[in-house]
Structure 1
């Protein structure tokens, strides 16, 4: 059997890939370090592309809808105006959240500071009432707090923290400067990319058509289009879902006269940007704030949270986010779980649209294979006992 040039090339590339993969597994620590260095080197570029992608979502909506009726002679101004309006909109949202949260946070800490002694007294009275009914628990539930000892430990902890902070001041300043510098470079790159996105896209396609087979370029462009649409729809749906959930909490907490309704609603809405599990973080923060000032109301808050969470998780999220990315609710949950276990919060955010792309491409491939193999619909829909 003769091996032609193309077959030899495929065999060689497959063997090289297997050897390279085996070597990477044997030297995974060095490979990870090298990969981190590469990521650090290209961090401003990657950050700039990420910022450009996020800003492009509202910018495209403004340019294609809000400024659609602008006369053609002003077309050259539509892109810069859309970019400025999109950036101002995002800055306004961040400022609004900070304006709402920071004053409420300061007021909350002041209230907590004044409420802690009363809270401790309430806990002690509650335990004393239990002891009256169950005297045998007195030895286990007697609580004495030495405030002088607590104050001494707190002072020592602050002193050690100040020493560590003073020793790491230079590294903190250096890291902060490096982060700000990277962000500024990324933002400048993002602005350039957004202003020239059609030209850059055309240049990229010219390079691909020059060095890659035409059918593969068409397939790659289609995959990139599906990925772009999935990520864009996911971030839009996630923001809309967070706003809906935050609004639901504000209305219901106001109706039931629960404290910190504005701050807790904004916090839950902000943390809900993390798919599925983010709202639980907001619940923990809200429960902590309420339990210090009024332990009884925290029970009603938790009941309210789980009712709204069930409504949001089973009705709103699958329809707002799941439908926007074309991914069923069960696969959204699996994607978030896998992404969180592998890459943390960032994995939760990125895995849903990535799974949406795989789900779309795999579905098309499966349907094509079934059609080519002439499998009847009756065989697929036929029920079977499990």
Structure 2
């Protein structure tokens, strides 16, 4: 009877709290936004730590093997050295991209602009011959200043992060965003340097306040999420670099224009399952068609051949089976995540679905084993 009374009291309390929250919904949203704004650097730091931990674990395994092989290296700080190696690789990668691809990207964009301006009179003439008023198009095009546009884009790169500030109602200034990112980066470094002790402390709190079965379940799910996301991110990063390089080499061999631009675009969009490959192929072909229609057709053929080789021989080895999902569930997760949260949803929906798939599979196997049913 006492248990029934407690359940009734809990249910009544929950109903009263829910009613109060709904009656003051706007104030609750403001409080939540304020809370998110205050904790934004911490959230950014935890996300950065989670992402950086993927390559960092690779270096930790490497240095651990070296310590076993060479006893004289027994005293080296593996965690600190792994973090330093990870940050050094990121800086090196940014430097390589900046020196090798950025000049090519700027030249490609400038070339596209020149081709567009050269062909604009022909296109306007064709539109006028079909009865369309093109006066407003001419006014807009003549008012463009490409160099001024490049200057504005370069000068406002730091303001891209303001979109995040609007979402969480944080400061919308570039300085505020830069401070949040900088503080988040510092927090990420501290988290990574003390991740062993932090993990131990979290486990202590979980096992101290929950039953052993519930604590084991939480630790198992946490380990599964960490392993799934690590495999997914590492596999996708490697696959993106390989695919971008293959496209760059293939377009260079066949003397197709905008090889730098399309290679970088392909590497970025490859994180979006299924849709990204079609989008980069279509955009690249559209850009090349403005230069030479036949080369535009050739670019589609070359792109599809490279994509086929990558899907058949490289992707299965690099990423294939990393999240343990069948193609049907992978496509379904990408479509649902894309409809709900756009491109970000498409990227993160696959590992989330993989985690849910493993949990549901384990639960179904336990239930079948309990019922002594073998399927």
TM-score range, shorter chain: 0.7 to 0.9
Residue equivalent to 2:119: 119
Q: Which of 334, 337, 346 is the matching residue for 1:336?
A: 334
Task: Tell whether the 8 Å contact from 2:55 to 2:234 is kept in structure 1 after alignment.
Answer: no
Q: Measure, in 2, the Cα distance between the counterparts of 1:319 and 1:27.
A: 53
Q: Measure, in 2, the Cα distance between the counterparts of 1:302 and 1:16.
A: 62
Q: Which of 225, 246, 249 is the matching residue for 2:247?
A: 249
Larger radius of gyration: 1
Q: Which of 226, 229, 232 is the matching residue for 1:231?
A: 229
Alignment of 1:375-386 (within 5 A): 375-377=373-375
Residue 244 of structure 1 deviates from its aligned partner by 2.7
Q: Which of 108, 123, 140 is the matching residue for 2:130?
A: 140
Q: Which of 175, 184, 203 is the matching residue for 1:205?
A: 203
1:220 is paired with a residue of what secondary structure?
Answer: helix
Pick closer, same or farther for the CA change 1:176–1:285 going to 2, 3 Å.
farther
**Deviations, residues 331-381 of structure 1 (Å, cap 9, x unaligned):** 11111222222222322222211111110010000111112122243xxxx
**Deviations, residues 268-325 of structure 1 (Å, cap 9, x unaligned):** 1122123332334433442343233223322222343345446656775566435101
Residue equivalent to 1:195: 193
Alignment of 1:50-61 (within 5 A): 50-61=47-58
Bigger shift: residues 35-44 or 196-205: 35-44
Q: Measure, in 2, the Cα distance between the counterparts of 1:76 and 1:60.
A: 16
Q: Which of 139, 149, 154 is the matching residue for 2:139?
A: 149
Task: Tell whether the 8 Å contact from 1:268 to 1:279 is kept in structure 2 after alignment.
Answer: yes
**Deviations, residues 142-170 of structure 1 (Å, cap 9, x unaligned):** 88678863466558xx99xx9xx99xx9x
Residue equivalent to 2:106: 106
Residue equivalent to 1:181: 179
Residue equivalent to 1:361: 359
Residue equivalent to 1:68: 65
Task: Tell whether the 8 Å contact from 2:64 to 2:78 is kept in structure 1 after alignment.
Answer: yes
Q: Measure, in 1, the Cα distance between the counterparts of 2:323 and 2:35.
A: 31
Residue equivalent to 2:258: 260
Q: Measure, in 2, the Cα distance between the counterparts of 1:253 and 1:151.
A: 30
TM-score, scaled to structure 1: 0.78
Q: Which of 38, 46, 71 is the matching residue for 1:41?
A: 38
TM-score, scaled to structure 2: 0.80
Residue equivalent to 1:351: 349
Q: Measure, in 1, the Cα distance between the counterparts of 2:345 and 2:20.
A: 26
Task: Tell whether the 8 Å contact from 1:97 to 1:266 is kept in structure 2 after alignment.
Answer: no
Residue equivalent to 1:131: none
Pick closer, same or farther for the CA change 1:225–1:124 going to 2, 3 Å.
same
Structure 2 unaligned residues grouped into runs of 5+:
163-170
Pick closer, same or farther for the CA change 1:216–1:311 going to 2, 3 Å.
same
Pick closer, same or farther for the CA change 1:274–1:142 going to 2, 3 Å.
closer
Task: Tell whether the 8 Å contact from 1:264 to 1:286 is kept in structure 2 after alignment.
Answer: yes
Residue equivalent to 2:89: 89
Pick closer, same or farther for the CA change 1:142–1:104 going to 2, 3 Å.
same
Task: Tell whether the 8 Å contact from 1:234 to 1:324 is kept in structure 2 after alignment.
Answer: yes
Aligned-residue Cα RMSD (Å) equals 3.6
